[in-house]
Structure 1
C-alpha cells in the first residue's frame, strides 16, 4: 500500500512538473501571450530599389538587409526580383542579399519586404562581440598636432570610455574650435564629422562602428539615420584598455553623432553596420532605394501562430490546423474541464447527477442553444418524455422497443419545439436539432428508473443536480479566456490530470453530508 501511494505521488509530481515546464517554455522563451486581448505592433517595411542599365550588361546587386538578432525579430521576408538569381549571406554584423543576372537593360525595379515585431526578439542587440582595442589611424603634419591637442583636452574631461566618446562627439560639433575645423577642412557633413570622430577615438585605441538605422514610423521615402556604436566593458577607463580582440562582459553602446546622446531610441532598428553603402550595383546607374513603413496590430491569436511557425516544439501547434478543425479541437480540449466540474461537485460538494458524464454532454448541447433556452428546452423534453415513459411502462413493453418509441417521440418534440420557438421569434430553436437525441432518450429512461426505485423526490433532486452541474460546466467550458488559454497551452491538461490523480484518493466528507449528519456531530 505504501509503495502504491509513493507511485501515485511520483506520477503526480512528474505530470505537474512536465506541465509547468512546457507552459513556462511557451511563456518565457517563446513569449506566447497569456491573454487573447494582448496585441503587439507589427511593422511592415518595403524597400524599393530602382536603377538603370545602359545596353545589355551583366548586373550584380549587393543590398544590406537587417540581421536576424536584435531588439526586433525579422519574419516573413519577401524578395521580388524577377529574372535575377538570389543568394543571402550572413556576415559578422550584417546580412547581405545578392541579386545577379547575365544580361539586363533599361529601367530595373526590385523589391524587398519584411515584417518586424519586438515580442519574439532575443532582447540582445547583437550576439557578436566587438573589439575593445584598435590601432591608431596614421596622421601627420598640422592635423597630427591638432589631434593630439584634442585628445589631451578630451581625456581631461572624461572619466571612462563612454564619456570619452560623448565628449569627442560634442567637441567635433563645436564650430568654434579651430582644431576641429582644421580636421574637417570646412566639410561639415555628418559623414565627414564621423570620420573625424573615428580619427580622434583611434588615438585613444577606441574602436567604433557606423550603424545605419530606420525610424519606425508610418512614412514613405525615409532615409537611414547614421549612428556610431562601440563595444564597451562596464566602468572601463580609457587608460585601462588592453589589445584584446574581443570583449568579455561588454555591451554595445550607441551614440548620436550630432549631440552625443547615448542609447538607441526604442523606435529605431539597425538596418546595417559599417561605412559601406547600403547597396552596390555593378553596371548600374542612378541607383535609388526608397523605404516605406506601415504599422499594424498583431493580435494574440496571430502572435501564437507566429510562435508556432518559429519553434520546433510548437511545430504541431493547434494553430497550424484548418480553422474548422481548430473549432472542433477547442470543444474537445474543454471537455476535461467539464469533467473536473463534475468531479468537484460530486466528490467534494456531494451533488447527485444522472450518470457520471451526462451533465458534460448536456453542457455541450447548451453551447448550441444557450444556457437559458437550453435549460427550458431540456426541462420540457424530459417532462413530456417521462409522461410517455410512464404510459409505456403500463404496456409492459421490452426495453429496446420502449427506447425506440421514446427516441422517436423525442425527435418529434424537438421538431415541434423548434418550429414553435421559431414562430415566436426565438432563433435559438433553429439550433436545437443538434441537441443529442440519444442522450435525452437515455436521460428520460434512467430518470424514470430512478423514480421507480428511489421515489419522485430523489429523482427530482437528481434532475435538478444534473441541470445545475451542466449549467456550471457550460459556463466554465464557454469562458473565452479559458478557451484561449487551453488551446494555446494544451499542457494545462497535464496539470489537470495531476489534480485528478490527487483527488482520486480523497475519502473525506462531502459538504452536503455535513448538513446531513449535523445532528450526529452535535
Structure 2
C-alpha cells in the first residue's frame, strides 16, 4: 500500500511538472499571449527613394536594407518600382537592393516596404568580430593631439568597454584643444565617429559603424549612427554623441559600415525619406504569421496547426475535461448526486446549441414525457432492449414535434432541440426510471435536479471564452488537471453534504 501511495505521488508530481514547464515555455519563451484579445505592435516601414535620372543613360540604384536579425521577425518585404529590375544581394553582413533600368528620364520614385514585429524576436546573435586591428596612419600635429588624448583615456579605463566609453566622452568635450584640432571644425556625428575610430585604432581596438532607424510612429527621421566593438565575447554598442552603451530596444539596424545608404549610377540628387507607422494586431494571429514567415515553430506542433474546421471541433472537445473536473468536485467534495459523471457533461454540451434557459426547459420536458412513457412500458413487461428502442424512437418523434411547433410559433431556438444527444436522453430516462423503482420518486427527483444543476454549472464553466482560449492554446494545463483528478481519486474524507447530515455527531 505504501509503494502504491509513493507511485501515485511520483506520478502526480511528474504530471504537474510537465504541465507547468510546457505552459511556462509557451508563455515565457515562445511569447504566446495569455489572452485572446491581447495585441502586439506591428511596424510598417516605408523608404521612399527619389532621384533624377540622366537622359539616355542606364540607371542603377543601390540601397542598403535591413539584414536578417534575431531581434525581429520580418512578416513582409516588397520592392515597388516602375519598369525597374530588382535584385537583393548580401555584402559583408549587409543586404543591398539594386534597382536597374536600361532607360529612364526625369524624376524617378522607388519604394522599399517592410512589415516587422519585435514581439517574437530574440536576442541579437551576431557573428563574432575581430579583437585586434591595425592603426590608422597619422602624422604631425594630429598624432600629437591623438597621443595627448589617449594618455588620460588609458589611465581611466580598465577594459575595452570602459576604454571606448572614455574615448567617446573625451571626443565630445569640445573645449579640449586637442579634440578641436582632430575635428577640424566639423562637429557632426559622422566626424566625431571618425575621430573616435582614429583614437581606437591607435590603441588597436576594433570599431564598426552601425546605422539604425528608430521605431517611432509618425516621426520623420534619417538613419542614426551608432558604434560597436567586439570585446572577445559579445558586441558592445555605443552612442557616439553621449557614450550611452547598449542598443535601445526601439532601434532597428539598417546597415553596417561607412558606405552611404544609397548610391546611384546614371542619376543624381538621390534622397531617401523614411516613414514608419505602428499598428496593433491580435497577438495570437501575429504568432501564426511569424511562424509562417520565420519558420520558427512557435505553433507548429500546437492545435493551431490543424485546419480551421478541426480547430473549432477541438475547441469544444478540449473543454470536456474541464466539465468532468467540475462534476468530480461537485460529487466527491460537494456530495451532489447525479446520473454518473459524463451524463451532465454531455447535457452541458447540448446546452451550447440551445442556450441555457431554453435547454433546461426542453430537457425537463423531454425527460418528463419520456419517464411517463417508460412507466407505461413497464406495465407491458418488455425486455430492456425493445424498451430502450421504443423510448429512443419516442424521443426522436418528440424532438421533431417540438422543433415543428417552435418553427410555427417563430421560436427558431427550439429547432436546436434536434442537436440534443438522443441516446443520452434515452439513457437518462431509463436510468431515472430505474432509480425511481429502486429508491423511490423523491430520490429520483433529487438525482434529476442534481444532474441538471451539475450540467448547468459545467455549461457555464465550459463556455467561458477566456478559459476556452487558455486551455486550447496551452493544453499542458490538462496534465495538471489529470494530476488533480488522480489526487481526488484517493480522497476518503467527508463530503460537504455529509457535514450537514452528520452535524450532530461532529458536535458530540
The answer as to 2:46 corresponding to 1:46 is: yes
Residue 65 of structure 1 deviates from its aligned partner by 1.5
Deviates more, 1:141-150 or 1:429-438: 429-438
The residue aligned with 2:209 is 210
- Contact 1:33–1:303, Cα closer than 8 Å, also in 2: no
Deviation at 1:458, TM superposition (A): 0.8
Tell which deviates more after alignment, 43-52 or 328-337: 43-52
Note the residue ranges of structure 1 that are not aligned, 5 or more in a row.
Answer: 233-246
Deviation at 1:408? 0.9
1:84-483 map, 5 Å: 84=85, 86-89=87-90, 91=92, 94-99=93-98, 104-106=102-104, 110-122=110-122, 124-155=123-154, 161-162=160-161, 164-219=163-218, 222-232=221-231, 247-248=232-233, 250-255=234-239, 257-281=240-264, 285-306=268-289, 308-309=291-292, 310-312=295-297, 314-394=299-379, 398-399=386-387, 400-417=389-406, 420=409, 422=411, 428-429=413-414, 431-483=416-468
CA separation of 1:220/1:515 partners in 2, compared to 1, >3 Å: closer, same or farther?
A: closer
Tell me how far apart the structure 2 counterparts of residues 21 and 514 of structure 1 sit (CA, whole Å): 38
Q: Distance in 1 between matches of 2:204 and 2:215?
A: 34
The question of whether the paired residues in 2 share the 8 Å contact of 1:381 and 1:413 is answered with no
- Equivalent position SS for 1:222: coil
Q: Cα distance 1:116–1:164, how it changes in 2: closer, same or farther (>3 A)?
A: same
Give the equivalent residue in structure 2 for 1:31.
31
Q: 1:46 touches 1:292 (CA, 8 Å); kept in 2?
A: yes
Q: Which residue of 2 is the match for residue 243 of structure 1? A: none
Q: Is there any run of 5+ residues in structure 2 with no aligned partner, and where?
A: none
The TM-score normalised by the length of structure 2 is 0.84
The equivalent residue for 1:497 is 482
- Report what 1:235 is aligned to: none
**CA spacing shift, 1:193–1:359, aligned 2, 3 Å:** same
Of 107-116 and 206-215, deviating more is 107-116
State whether residues 395 and 425 of structure 2, in contact with CA within 8 Å, keep that contact through their aligned partners in structure 1: no
Q: Give the Cα separation in 1 of the matches to 2:287 and 2:281.
A: 10
Q: Write the distance in 2 (CA, Å) between the matches of 1:15 and 1:162.
A: 47
Quickly say closer, same or farther: Cα 1:27–1:35, change in 2 above 3 A.
same
Q: Distance in 2 between matches of 1:378 and 1:25?
A: 43
Counterparts of 1:313 and 1:9 in 2: how far apart (Å)? Answer: 33
**1:209 Cα deviation from its structure 2 partner:** 1.9
Q: How far apart, CA to CA, are the structure 1 residues paired with 2:403 and 2:164?
A: 82
Distance 1:270 1:60, change over 3 A: closer
SS in structure 1 of the partner of residue 90 of structure 2: strand
Question: What is the alpha-carbon distance in structure 2 between the residues aligned to residue 7 and residue 157 of structure 1?
Answer: 63
Contact 1:49 1:110 in 2 (8 A): yes
Corresponding residue of 2:77: 78
Question: Cα deviations across residues 495-520 of structure 1 (Å, max 9, x unaligned)?
Answer: 33333344444455544344445566
* Aligned residue number for residue 70 of structure 2: 69
1: CA distance between counterparts of 2:182 and 2:140?
11
CA distance in 1, matches of 2:489, 2:32: 33
Q: Is the 8 A contact 2:324 2:342 kept in 1?
A: yes
Provide the rounded CA distance (Å) in 1 between the counterparts of 2:331 and 2:410: 34
Q: 1:506 to 1:494 in 2, by over 3 A?
A: same
| Residue 139 to residue 405, structure 1, CA distance change in 2 (3 Å) | same
Q: How far apart, CA to CA, are the structure 1 residues paired with 2:136 and 2:287?
A: 51
How far apart, in 1, do the equivalents of 2:112 and 2:22 lie? 36
Secondary structure, counterpart of 1:32 in structure 2:
coil
The change in CA–CA distance for 1:104 and 1:430 in structure 2 (over 3 A counts) is farther
Q: CA deviation at 1:6?
A: 6.1
